[in-house]
Amino acid sequence: MWSIGELAERAGATVKTVRFYSDQGLLPEASRSSGGHRRYGPQALERLQLIRSLRTLDLPLPEIRRILEDEEAAGRVLENALDSRLRGLGSELKALRWREAALQLVRDCPPAQRAGRLKLLSALSTPPSTAPLARFWRAWLPARMPRLATAAFLEAAVPQPPDEPHPSQVLAFARLHAMTTAPCPNGRQPQPDVHRAAGAGGAALLYAGLAEAFELAAPHLRQANDPHPGEALDAYVAAYASAYRSRDTHEFRRLLAARLSAEARLNQYWELAAIVLTPPGGHPQPTPGSTDDWLRAALQLDNAGAA
């Protein structure tokens, strides 16, 4: 039997540490001396060493208790605890990288711009949340649109913040946040009339078809190919035709091009989204906005050829 001081010395720990784990019930004593002092056996040393090893992994005491108390499930409990801690560390590291990039952004800008950038950044959490952007697009979508269709649309429209952002990406995301949280002009829903007229059911068909068209067109944008008619444009026109319960004819394409050109555009949103999605020095990643521009240009060329 060892005293608390002897156990601490053998484990390379302090008496205070041994007493703390004993008081928490993690390190049971074997007996008490005639004077009431705690006595520990060799098993206590093994347990104390295990506890300290687990603590070096930054596991919380409740998880350590579960590992010690359930020997049969100790491996599974430890694995789950480690996975949870790794996820937590990943979030912490991402937050630190965003703070670092934000500090660089403010440090490196002209002094006259610092107040404005600080105001933009103060509205962001670290790492930033995409919830405000998702709320903006939910208001943009027609009411009663099917849940799955809404989720698919949001996945395409809301850029995810990069884990290791460049200062330019931090600035772009901050501006997206400011844009999407600002009141709409005149309180008007920003969804274009060409989409709103399709209704909730038609919009679901439209966005599903547009997603297919964008996927077909994206490789052309990555390769910097000029807009041209083809499979991607056919899918694009078919999406609108299905939403309006119409047929893909030359007249329909002409009318569609006219209606699309008359609508207001969210160009700034998509330009900022491309910066968020594109690593510095890389070729701009396609966004729904840039892909839609490419397909509209292809539609104009197709109509010109038909004329």
> Which residues partner with 38 through β-bridges?
32
pLDDT in tens, 88-104: 888 899 999 999 999 99
pLDDT of residue 189: 58
Indicate if the pLDDT at residue 77 is higher than 90: no
Indicate if the pLDDT at residue 187 is higher than 70: no
Indicate if the pLDDT at residue 132 is higher than 90: yes
Largest separation between any pair of C-alpha atoms in the chain: 107
Which residue has better confidence, 214 or 188?
A: 214
Cα 175 to the chain's mean position, in Å?
16
User: What Å distances lie between residue 293 and 31, 109, 115, 221, 227, CA to CA?
Assistant: 79, 32, 35, 10, 9
Which residue has better confidence, 306 or 254?
A: 254
The helix (run of H) or strand (run of E) holding residue 38 is: strand 38-40
Residue with tokens 């510095």: 280
What is the Cα–Cα distance from 184 to 192, expressed in whole angstroms?
13
Picking from 141, 104, 128, the residue whose alpha carbon sits closest to that of residue 177 is 128
What is the Cα–Cα distance from 190 to 185, expressed in whole angstroms?
9
pLDDT of residue 40: 87
pLDDT in tens, 17-31: 989 988 888 887 777
User: What Å distances lie between residue 252 and 184, 198, 210, 256, 283, CA to CA?
Assistant: 31, 15, 17, 6, 34
pLDDT in tens, 105-120: 999 999 999 999 999 9
pLDDT in tens, 31-50: 787 777 888 888 888 889 88
User: Tokens standing for 177?
Assistant: 């946040």
Cα 255 to the chain's mean position, in Å?
38
Q: Is 251 exposed, middle or buried (0-12, 13-18, 19+ CB in 10 A)?
A: exposed
Q: Which domains does the chain have, with CATH numbers?
A: 4-69 (1.10.1660.10), 92-306 (no CATH)
Q: How many CB atoms lie within 10 A of CB 236?
A: 26
